[in-house]
Amino acid sequence: MNTITCPIPVQEREHIQLAHGGGGKLTQELIETIFYPAFKNDILEQEHDSAQIAMPGGRIAFTTDSFVVDPVFFPGGDIGELAVNGTVNDLLCSGAVPQYISVGFIIEEGFAINDLKKIVQSIADAARKANVKIVTGDTKVIERIHGNQIYINTSGIGSIPESVALSPKNVKHGDSVIVTGRIGEHGICVLSTRNSLGFETDIKSDTRSLNEIVRNLLKDIPQTRVLRDPTRGGLSSTLNEIAHTAGAGIEINEEALPISKGVESACELLGLDPLYIANEGILLVFVPGEYEKQALEIIRNSEHGADAMPIGKVIPDPAHRVYLQSAFGGKRVVEVLSGEQLPRIC
């Protein structure tokens, strides 16, 4: 039997080994010394294979997202925080109250254990901020490539209040389109940290969970049509999806788009369109036109909503397209992203 217990040299204890994913002693050590202390909660402490959760009857939202962002640390956040916020925001977009999150790690052999600890702490902090519990998890280890990669899957559950009925199918002509914050921050931030790209900015990722905006909005405006987080593919993809499902056109005004000087300059420099850049901490909100003013006030008075802007409206259009009214008076069709503007953005 080949399970000889060797003393592990010091340098080996500082990096992930294949055996950390083997289901034996080292896996248990990771769980007991790193994961449990950071994620501590009553459900996790049951130590079952599955989390056992008491739920009231009714609708729940269930979502999953894997994160492969490169680099794993970037200005304004890291892959751990991103993984929690992304799944929390997906639940929020269903109108659910985010409650329980699972975390699945796939870690490259040779990954620094100190980096893992930082990421785990970010996950714990982001979960606390978003008021969700990490209740179940899994760890696998793959052979070394560069020794600096970790992939994280988060799945999440939340209960949907009975009054909520969000759907792109509800969207109607005359609806107002609001974006809750400045666009393009996450995408340009990750782009600027890729060594080979040779430009630097002080732009930070906008990764954050948007619980307060959604809670306040749905409380006061139950007529809200749909909420979406325009992540990969940027505003253009999300707007096109909604137009397609709603069977309507959407017209947005270039001048109304909230965009920082930094993102604007970076886009000009690189020949990129901010409508195609990924976001992590903003939402697109569709409300009936008559609620625009009230919605805007609610969002601007909520955490992370100060830069909210009404950016356009839903129009009749048999082609179900998205149009951009440019600052110079022209109008063009905003197509769905057809290539990959920047891989491994989230």
Q: Which parts of 271-290 interact with its own copies (CB under 8 A)?
A: 271-273, 276, 278
Only one of the segments 62-70, 117-125, 186-194, 250-258 lies at the binding site for its own copies (rule: CB under 8 A); that segment is 62-70
Q: Give dist(CA 290, CA 174) in Å, integer.
A: 9
Shorter beta-carbon distance to its own copies: residue 145 or 306: 145
**Which residues contact residue 274 at a Cβ distance below 8 angstroms, ignoring those fewer than 6 apart?**
183, 184, 234, 235, 257, 259, 263, 264, 267
Shorter beta-carbon distance to its own copies: residue 225 or 296: 225
Only one of the segments 180-188, 211-219, 280-288, 337-345 lies at the binding site for its own copies (rule: CB under 8 A); that segment is 337-345
Q: Give dist(CA 16, CA 10) in Å, integer.
A: 12
Only one of the segments 189-197, 257-265, 297-305, 332-340 lies at the binding site for its own copies (rule: CB under 8 A); that segment is 332-340
- Whether 186 and 205 have beta carbons less than 8 Å apart is answered as yes
Provide the sign of the torsion angle of the four alpha carbons 298, 299, 300, 301, taken in this order. Answer: positive
Near its own copies in 63-122, by CB under 8 A:
63-68, 90-91, 93-94, 96, 100, 102-106
Q: Give dist(CA 152, CA 111) in Å, integer.
A: 14
Near its own copies in 143-162, by CB under 8 A:
143, 145, 151, 153, 155-157, 160
Q: How far is the CB of 260 from its own copies (least distance, A)?
A: 19
- Whether 245 and 168 have beta carbons less than 8 Å apart is answered as yes
Place of tokens 């008491």: 54
Q: Give dist(CA 290, CA 280) in Å, integer.
A: 28
Among 14, 62, 174, 303, binds its own copies (CB under 8 A): 62
Neighbours of 170 (CB within 10 A): 16
Near its own copies in 198-227, by CB under 8 A:
none
Cα 234 to the center of its chain, rounded Å: 12
Shorter beta-carbon distance to its own copies: residue 86 or 296: 86
Tokens of 223: 């007529």
Q: How many residues does the chain have?
A: 346
Among 36, 73, 113, 142, binds its own copies (CB under 8 A): 142
Shorter beta-carbon distance to its own copies: residue 34 or 165: 165
- Whether 149 and 45 have beta carbons less than 8 Å apart is answered as no
Residue 331 binds its own copies (CB under 8 A) = no
Shorter beta-carbon distance to its own copies: residue 318 or 343: 343
Near its own copies in 41-60, by CB under 8 A:
46-60
Among 231, 260, 279, 302, binds its own copies (CB under 8 A): 231
